[in-house]
Structure 1
Amino acid sequence: TTAELFRLLCNLARIGTVTEIDTETCTARINSGENHTDWVRWACSRAGGAVTWHAPTVGEQVIVMSPCGEMTTAVIVGSLYSSDHPAPDSGASTHVTTYPDGARFCYDPAQSALALNGIKTLNVNAGGAVAITCSTATVSATEKVTLDAPEVVCTKKLTASTFSVTQGGEMHGNFTGNMTINGIKPDEHSHGGVESGGSWTQGTK
């Protein structure tokens, strides 16, 4: 009938708002006008050898497509910005993702700049090697930086405002310049009260 055909055509593509999600079945329910859908699947970026996961959230505005107009086969195929969830950026070249906790991931190919802000922790676990190559690198920490390894190698110049060794060890190398230990320069100090024979000196000065 004409009414049935009209219903099928209207159901081919709908815009609605997510009201419920089930992360176990990867399905959600949608309000679209006066219609409240049954549980429908949402699309993902990849679901083959590489698999991605990013569930929709309640209140998100989405596009629902229904093959042949039957809502029983409906799939959420994408999302739309809304007044409750506006666009996080307006740059023509930026790629931005924001999260409810305030974290923000932004890459701008026009500037070749990557920015990650608002996170509390960052963990990178690699079974092999991790290599970082750049012209300059700065690590700023408000408390401390820990290097935990059987051996730490510095291949070039190392500059430090203070230096402390707490568990002994050995130091080898050819050193140039002035060195002062407890106010004494080993290569310039003299000994006093020296007598011939087996007497000891009175110490350095």
Structure 2
Amino acid sequence: MNTADLARLIENLIRIGTIAVVDHGARKLKVKSGNLLTNWLDWPADIGRNYKRWRPLRLGTQVILTCPAGDPAQAMIIGMLYSNGRESPSIDPNIDLIAFDDGSYLEHHQGNKTLKLHSAGDLTISAAGNITIQAPRVDINP
């Protein structure tokens, strides 16, 4: 292997790119990084022991690719980055926030121990069993 091939392999180990093509139904996407447009890549998953989360991904989102053995044909997305036009919804270190484009959000504030849920439209709460509300005081439509 010559030095040019070695340099190319090292350069391709980790790349930054943006999501260029999305197939939500197949859960596949392509990433543009420099002059490279990847093959269809697997969708990064958020799976825990007790949950699976669906996150429809956006065109233009900046991602981190790893390419085993420096081969972009084997690329995998290992992370996403905030960038211009895709800023974080908060910079407050006390807040964990899930914000939606329509203005709906779920916010936990560690400092004052509050949890807020806001819907920009209707909100439905359903349960197969009972619903219990416990609080020193409950205000409805104050």
* TM-score w.r.t. length of structure 2: 0.88
Partner of 1:16: 17
Runs of 5+ consecutive residues of structure 1 not aligned to the other structure: 142-205
Task: Give 1:118 shift.
Answer: 4.4
1 CA distance for matches of 2:113 and 2:89?
Answer: 19
2 CA distance for matches of 1:73 and 1:53?
Answer: 23
Letter in 2 for 1:53: W
Number of residue pairs matched?
141
Letter in 1 for 2:8: R
2 CA distance for matches of 1:80 and 1:109?
Answer: 24
Task: Give 1:54 shift.
Answer: 0.9
2 CA distance for matches of 1:48 and 1:92?
Answer: 27
Partner of 2:133: 132
Q: Pick closer, same or farther for the CA change 1:76–1:106 going to 2, 3 Å.
A: same
Partner of 1:115: 116
CA RMSD of aligned residues (A): 1.8
Partner of 1:38: 39
More helix by share: 2
1 CA distance for matches of 2:133 and 2:48?
Answer: 31
Structure 1 range deviating more: 58-67 or 46-55: 46-55
Letter in 2 for 1:13: I
Runs of 5+ consecutive residues of structure 2 not aligned to the other structure: none
More strand by share: 2
2 CA distance for matches of 1:83 and 1:126?
Answer: 40
Q: Pick closer, same or farther for the CA change 1:88–1:113 going to 2, 3 Å.
A: same
Larger radius of gyration: 1
For residues 44-72 of structure 1, the C-alpha deviation after alignment (integer angstroms, 9 at most, x for no partner) is 22166532211321111111112222222
Residue 87 of structure 2 corresponds to residue 86 of structure 1: yes
* TM-score w.r.t. length of structure 1: 0.63
